[in-house]
Copies of this chain bind each other. A is one copy, B any other.
Amino acid sequence: MSELNYRFRDPALAQLALTHRSVGKPNNERLEFLGDALLGAIVAEMLYEVHPKASEGELSRLRAQLVNGQALAVMARELALGDGLKLGPGELKSGGFRRDSILADAFEATVAAVYLDGGFEACRETVRGLFVERIAALRRSSKDAKTRLQEWLQAKGLALPQYELIASHGEDHAKTFDVSCSVTEPLAFTAEARGGNRRAAEQDAAEAVLNRLLEQQRGA
């Protein structure tokens, strides 16, 4: 069980954040819109700080792991938000207070309620308090791009990627390296990346390939 660690000046805002649309209007849908956006920004900043070398794609991937509906429902349960939910009769009967989507929405709406009640710094501190351990845990468990690409290919019974040094530029004290990462048929895709050392360039190239493969898989 965790705690919000925020005390509302206006308890009606906290209550509105827990009012499902099945009750009628006003409900928490507008707050959810605002809270979703605030949460995205505050978690983005945390990841930006904690992962100073991560690419934009990597940061997006990490954030999606933290703020998807299922993850937010878990956090809502830890805060026992379900106990305070106001639901219409239909949702009450069918156990809406246990449903992931309703809980996740209530969590997002609560973030917006803190913002409107106490301002950005209060909201930021509250969200940071709730996410700091999760972000640290994710960081400990997160694998580098080369490892993830290798595991993805192995799981599909495909050949391992090939890394090649294409060129290096500059004087010894400020050398950069161009590296390619290729996967063979049936995927047949190559990406190139430049880095201050060969390993960093390989990681970036691997991530570019992996992102492309995941996009293809999603049918994009």
**Which A residues lie at the B interface, using CB under 8 A?**
24-25, 29-30, 32-34, 36-38, 40-41, 43-45, 48, 54-56, 59-60, 115, 120-121, 124, 176, 194-196
Contact = CB atoms under 8 A, between A and B. Distances in A.
**Pairs of residues from A and B, 8 with the lowest C-beta to C-beta distance, nearest first:** A37-B44, A37-B41, A41-B41, A29-B56, A33-B56, A37-B40, A120-B120, A33-B59
A52 to B, nearest CB: 8
25 contacts: A24-B176, A24-B194, A25-B194, A25-B196, A29-B55, A29-B56, A30-B48, A30-B59, A32-B56, A33-B48, A33-B56, A33-B60, A34-B41, A34-B44, A34-B48, A36-B44, A37-B37, A37-B40, A37-B41, A37-B44, A38-B44, A40-B40, A40-B41, A41-B41, A120-B121
Given A25-B194, A30-B56, 20 more contacts: A24-B176, A24-B194, A25-B195, A25-B196, A29-B55, A30-B54, A30-B59, A32-B56, A33-B44, A33-B48, A33-B60, A36-B44, A37-B37, A37-B41, A37-B44, A38-B41, A38-B44, A40-B40, A40-B41, A45-B115
A89 to B, nearest CB: 13
A177 to B, nearest CB: 11
